[in-house]
Amino acid sequence: MRVALISDLHGNEIALDCVLADVLNQGVDQVVCLGDTATLGTRPGAVLARLRELGCPCILGNHDAFMLDPGLIHTYTEAPIVVQAVEWCRNQLSAEDLKFIASFVPTLEFVLDEQVRLFLFHGTPRSHMQDLLCTTPSDVLDEMLAGHAASVMAGGHTHIQMLRQHKGTLLVNPGSVGLAFEQHVAGKTPTLLCHAEWACVEATRGRVSVTLHRVNLDRDALRAAAGASDNPLVPWLLEQYA
């Protein structure tokens, strides 16, 4: 069984379409979205419509939760531009969009074959706002993953692709479809990479493999999409896509 993991789409329709075309070309049995679907980018409604059309399971990310609970973002950041961009996104969404986001789940588990299980979340199993990194100390990881065991565990949130082995478990971050970061930002302003990211987890008769993928994006198309929007983040996006 082959499962495509996509995460942190952030309203980037162009990047999502490029990734889904690449996924189709690779051939998979299942696509799963690990959350943060609509906010920050210029086409939130279109991205949600694409996911509904795809019919894939979706994990609730922190930015998805911000759409359902307007006050929640203030527990995560007080950066005015981010708060404004999240509010702008919420104003673009329909009742149908919000109902769709409310159907997202905190975690998912897949049995890929008799010996391989895949456990999915957004940040960590205990919080969609926690960062799981290649540099996270082993004892801290034990606390983050407490009570959960699987051959492969995967989450997004950090916008950084990662493959790490921890006590026999493969920890995967597929990276970001819509806003791939050059490095972990830890609250600072990120620098974007001009590609979209996803991962494939494959199991065959107890053997498991993980492949990280990158898809180049058209800067001109990204600039045009940004220029057609009144999202508060447009000046920053245009700077990043220059």
Instruction: Map out the domains of the chain as residue ranges.
Output: 2-105+178-240
Q: What is the pLDDT of residues 212-228, one digit of tens each?
A: 999 999 999 999 999 99
Q: CA–CA distance from 109 to each of 19, 152, 154, 207, 231 (Å)?
A: 23, 10, 10, 18, 35
Q: What is the pLDDT of residues 9-34, one digit of tens each?
A: 999 999 999 999 999 999 999 999 99
Q: Percentage of the chain with pLDDT > 70?
A: 100
Q: What integer best gives the mean pLDDT of the chain?
A: 96
Q: What distance in Å separates the CA atoms of residue 211 and residue 174, rounded to the nearest whole number?
A: 9
- H/E element, 186: none
Q: Percentage of the chain with pLDDT > 90?
A: 95
Looking at residue 187, its pLDDT comes to: 79
Looking at residue 147, its pLDDT comes to: 85
Looking at residue 42, its pLDDT comes to: 97
Report, as an integer, the average pLDDT of 79-86.
96
Q: What is the pLDDT of residues 159-216, one digit of tens each?
A: 999 999 999 999 999 999 999 999 998 878 999 999 999 999 999 988 999 999 999 9
Total residue length of the chain: 242
Domain 2-105+178-240: give its CATH code: 3.60.21.10
pLDDT band at 68 (very low <50, low <70, confident <90, very high): very high
